[in-house]
């Protein structure tokens, strides 16, 4: 089977204020045991797979010793049939990267970087607990290009504060000139994060949702104008640099996840590893389920309308759902919110910001 692989590295130098992922700081003594168990998990896997992409995420993979990354990548290459043109990505933070690490990553076969920039405003970076500054972020990109990386992505957070578009462009311009992919996320305030605590104490006041959506719409127009096509709700790429790994998720392709809290999906069966070290080491699963027909229908609509892959109407009919009989379908089509090309429907990108509401109408 064709498949993608995700490897979770849960270690960070410091926990960002907004982060609700399974990541931990100040536990360096756990790393050796974790990677030993990660290797065991990969070796236990019984799937035979042709691997199209590998994504090493976290956490902060660039925070751990490079040799841990090499050992895991070598094991994956040995165990699976990894396509010679496979996209192999690692997440890095500007404060935990240097030229020697980047050179090492390239040497072991990594060909794509995802850099956690988040902002090029130093005050904003401090407010959300990031350890790097603008200079380090720009330098990280320059070093990546210097050692030969051609496929470089950067993350940006929208909604950190009420700002005019001129300030946003100050972050976008230097990145657009030097990278091939941008992920622009609207900030989500999650439970059990320091950011939520700071907001409740009124130490941080965020812009309202309408203001953030307005900024998001302006970012879309600006990036499209400068050669970055929006191919998914939060992702923009120069032609040919769309993230293959992410596209596999949106297309409901098979993927195997290894490590703490990692998710897997094969043939409509989904499972997830435990979120604590002890339970992960014991092989306990957080989730195991076989999707129902209704869940599959909902996923096809939800994922397809959030990216330019769209939704195949015939595929839905085979599952017993004729979406064209939904009372909201014609309204959305007639008002140019949805577009139909043969048997594929797409949501116009300008409505991605309110996609959840539209998708809900099509599921009723």
**Better-scored residue on pLDDT, 100 or 160:** 100
Q: Is the pLDDT of residue 201 over 90?
A: no
**Better-scored residue on pLDDT, 9 or 20:** 9
Q: What are the sequence ranges of the domains in the chain?
A: 2-249, 292-364
Residue 183 β-bridge partners: 155, 235
For the segment 322-347, the average pLDDT, to the nearest whole number, is 92
For the segment 248-255, the average pLDDT, to the nearest whole number, is 95
Instruction: Compute the C-alpha angle 140/141/147, nearest 5°.
Output: 90
For the segment 109-123, the average pLDDT, to the nearest whole number, is 94
pTM: predicted TM-score of the whole model, two decimal places? 0.93
Instruction: Compute the C-alpha angle 276/282/287, nearest 5°.
Output: 65
- pLDDT band, very low/low/confident/very high, at 65 (cuts 50, 70, 90): very high
- pLDDT band, very low/low/confident/very high, at 163 (cuts 50, 70, 90): low
> Tell me, what's the pLDDT at 205?
80
Fold identical between 2-249 and 292-364? Answer: no
Rounded to 10°, the helix 66-79/99-107 angle is 10
> Tell me, what's the pLDDT at 343?
92
For the segment 274-298, the average pLDDT, to the nearest whole number, is 95
> Tell me, what's the pLDDT at 81?
95
Cα–Cα distance for residue pair 90/213, rounded to 1 Å: 29
**Better-scored residue on pLDDT, 194 or 275:** 275
Peptide bond into 315 cis (omega under 30): no
pLDDT tens digits, residue range 221-248? Answer: 899 999 999 999 999 999 999 999 999 9
- The CATH T-level fold of domain 2-249 is TIM Barrel (3.20.20)
- pLDDT band, very low/low/confident/very high, at 178 (cuts 50, 70, 90): very high
pLDDT tens digits, residue range 208-221? Answer: 878 888 888 888 88
Chain-wide mean pLDDT for the chain?
91
If 0-12 CB within 10 Å is exposed, 13-18 middle and 19+ buried, where does residue 14 land? middle
> Tell me, what's the pLDDT at 213?
81
**What percentage of residues in the chain have a pLDDT greater than 90?**
70
- pLDDT band, very low/low/confident/very high, at 299 (cuts 50, 70, 90): very high
Q: Give me the CATH code for the 292-364 domain, please.
A: 1.10.10
For the segment 154-165, the average pLDDT, to the nearest whole number, is 80
For the segment 184-208, the average pLDDT, to the nearest whole number, is 83
Q: Is the pLDDT of residue 164 over 70?
A: no
């Amino acid at each position: 089977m064709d498949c993608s692989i995700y490897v979770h590295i849960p270690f960070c130098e410091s926990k960002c204020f907004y982060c609700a992922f399974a990541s931990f700081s100040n536990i360096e003594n756990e790393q050796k045991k974790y990677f030993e168990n990660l290797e065991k998990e990969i070796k236990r896997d019984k799937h035979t797979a042709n691997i199209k992409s590998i994504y090493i995420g976290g956490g902060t993979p660039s925070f751990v010793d490079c040799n841990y990354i090499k050992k895991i990548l070598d094991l994956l290459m040995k165990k699976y049939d990894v396509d010679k043109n496979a996209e192999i990505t690692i997440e890095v933070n500007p404060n935990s990267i240097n030229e020697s690490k980047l050179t090492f990553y390239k040497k072991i076969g990594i060909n794509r970087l995802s850099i956690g920039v988040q902002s090029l405003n130093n005050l904003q970076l401090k407010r959300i607990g990031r350890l790097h500054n603008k200079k380090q972020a720009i330098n990280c990109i320059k070093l990546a290009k210097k050692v030969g990386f051609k496929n470089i992505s950067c993350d940006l957070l929208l909604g950190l504060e009420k700002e005019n578009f001129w300030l946003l462009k100050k972050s976008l311009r230097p990145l657009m000139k030097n990278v091939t992919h941008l992920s622009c996320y609207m900030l989500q305030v999650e439970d059990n994060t320091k950011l939520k605590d700071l907001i409740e104490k009124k130490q941080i006041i965020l812009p309202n949702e309408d203001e953030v959506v307005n900024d998001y719409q302006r970012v879309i127009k600006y990036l499209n104008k400068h050669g970055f096509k929006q191919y998914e709700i939060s992702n923009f790429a120069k032609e040919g640099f769309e993230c293959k790994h992410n596209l596999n998720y949106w297309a409901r392709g098979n993927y195997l996840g290894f490590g703490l809290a990692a998710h897997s999906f094969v043939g409509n069966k989904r499972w997830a590893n435990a979120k604590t070290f002890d339970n992960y080491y014991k092989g306990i699963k957080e989730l195991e389920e076989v999707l129902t027909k209704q869940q599959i229908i909902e996923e096809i609509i939800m994922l397809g309308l959030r990216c330019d892959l769209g939704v195949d109407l015939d595929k839905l009919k085979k599952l017993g759902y004729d979406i064209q009989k939904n009372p909201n379908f014609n309204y959305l089509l007639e008002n140019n919110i949805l577009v139909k090309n043969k048997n594929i429907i797409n949501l116009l990108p300008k409505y991605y910001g309110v996609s959840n509401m539209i998708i809900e109408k099509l599921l009723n």
